Every structure is written in structure tokens, then in C-alpha cells.
Amino acid sequence: MQSNKIRLHDREQFLTRLAVLMKEGYLLPVALSLLLPMHTQKLELALSGIAGILKSGGNAAEILKFLGFNDHVLFPIEIAEYHGRLPESIDSIAKSFARTEQVQKKLKNILIYPVSLLIFTSILFLFFRTSYVPNLTEMMKSLQSGSEESGVPAYLLSLPDFFIALFVSFAFSIYVFRLVLKRQVIQKQITWLLAIPILRRFMKLYWSHLLARELGTLLHSGISMQESLDLLQRQNYHKIIQYMANLSHEELLMGQSFSMSLERFSFISKDMAAFIRHGEQTGYLGKEMILYSEVLMERIEQQTQQLLRIIQPSFFIIIAICIVGAYLAILMPMYNLVHTI
């Protein structure tokens, strides 16, 4: 369907408006035809593509995939078509979009000043190494007596270059890691992600949040546990949730409760099994799982904010190290020269 040719702008607003129109009773094709002129410059291509998907029996997830949305959006959309709460799911996705964009905007604002300062420092130090340091070294050699050497340690002026190269290498390593990770089986993907200390905590919360939100919504809609897990197994947009649902379904077939099956998982939040057990006892498992998913999202947001508060001071510490290194590179040789005179 050449989804890469469709570029929607203001995606969060698009999803919010789509949810509002559908709650007001508009059918999905009609709502899309009203919204697309405001969100894409390739209206005819978008409308013809959507019409082709509908004629071939496609669903809402396929339409949104054609419009360029990724699997994290398509996963809850596909599940929503089973429990019949598509407008509510789209509205929830729009709110998640807003949270993500807010975090990305804050991260950008946090990084833009220190990163720019680090790059400017690197350029300034390059000027020192190429223009100032050679002249200073020649002057010191002419003033020195004997075979003593007290040249300028120019490697200290290369600290900004070192840190920039380190960051570039780190970014490239993450890119390669993601490419290799996608080619692994699900079990190995989980093992690799949980082996990273900082990422381990976020992934457990995120997977638990997704499972609780989608499974809780299905149960709250009146669908049985086995049928809900079967639906999660048959979706193809989130392989890890598919794997978790498969394991839980096998445990249920062996006579185990859902909460007991979760106790065997090392890749979910620690208190999830206890929370699910309480829902099973009260008879409001679906509703309580939805509530638990919201609690997990709040935890993810809190830990993300804590991580963001560390990033900017770390960059300023790196810049401070570079400046101190520059002072040492210039002042130490002069200090040694004074003692030789």
C-alpha cells in the first residue's frame, strides 16, 4: 500500500479528533475523509489507498498502518476491534501520543543547550590545537635550557572530541543492537533487553502495562479469559505480548489460574501477580487490570522524569571536565617553565 508515501502531521491531534468524531457516531471512513484534508498534503493518494483497503475487507489497523502509524499504535487498534471500543482506544492512544511527545520535547529542550555547548567547545579547542598550541610550544622550547621537555599536553584539548566520538559510537551501537535484536527469537529478545540494567526496569513496566491494558479491556467487555488470551496470541503487531499470552494460555489449559501463571514470568512487574490475584478474588479482574495499567503508566512517567533530570547535569559535568583539561594543558607547561627560569 506504499504507506511510506503518506505523511500525517499533528498525529496526536489527528487521533484525538478521530476519537471525538467516532464517539459522535461518525463511521471510520467518513471520519477519515473529514480529517485527512487537515493532516496530509497527499489527500487523493490517502483516500484512494483507504478505499482500496476497505474494498479488500481491511480493518482499522490496516488503514492506520497505511497512514504511517507504527505497531505500538496498531496493536491496541486491532484488539479494540474485538471488544468494540475503538473510539475509546483511539482516544487512549492519542493521550499516549501526547505523553510521548511531551517527553521528547522535554528531552530535546534539555539536550539542545549542553550538546550545542559541547560542540562549540570542541570547535574552540580545535582552534587552540591548530593555532595557539604550536606557537606556545615553539616559544617554550626557545626559552628552555637543556634537554628538559615541558610541551603543551595537547591530548587534554582533545577531550571534547573524545566525548563526542563516544556519544556517536554509543548511538551507532544502539542502532546496530536494535537491528540485531529484531532478528532474534522472542525469548532471546526478552533476555537481551532484561540484561541491560537501566532498560530492564522500564521494559518490565512497559510490558506489564500493555498486557494489563489490553487484556483488562477485553475482559471488561465481557470476553472470557481464554478467548482474550487467544486474541492476544493471534495478533501480529506485538510479538512479546503474543508470547506472554501464549505462555499464560498454556498454563490455563493445565488448570492454573492467570495470577499463578504470571508468577512464573521474570519479565513482568513484581506486584502484577498479586494485583491480578486480588482482581480474581473480587470478580472485577478486567476493571482492576485497566486501573493497574494506569498505575504502571504513572510509574513509567515518574522514572522517565527522574532519568531526564540526570541527563543535563551529566552533560555539564562533561563540559566542565573539558574546560579544566584545557586550563591544565595551558597552565601546567607555563608553571614548569617558570621553575626552569
CA 334 to chain centre: 49
Collapsing DSSP to helix, strand or coil, 158 comes out as helix
Task: List CB contacts of 336: < 8 A, sequence separation 6 or more.
Answer: 150
pLDDT digits (tens, 9 = 90+) for 21-32: 988 888 888 988
Q: Which residue has the cell 483488562?
A: 216
Q: Is the pLDDT of residue 136 over 70?
A: no
Find, among 84, 244, 271, the residue nearest to 279 by Cα. Answer: 271
Per CATH, domain 188-309 is 1.20.81.30:
yes
Residue spans of the domains in the chain: they are 3-69, 188-309
Q: Is the pLDDT of residue 3 over 50?
A: no
pLDDT (0 to 100) of residue 154: 63
The CB density around residue 262, as the number of other CB atoms within 10 Å, is 23
Residues 281-310: tens digit of each pLDDT? 888 888 888 899 889 988 888 888 888 788
Q: How do residues 167-217 score in pLDDT, each as one tens digit?
A: 889 889 999 998 999 888 988 999 999 988 888 888 999 899 888 888 888
pTM of the model: 0.74
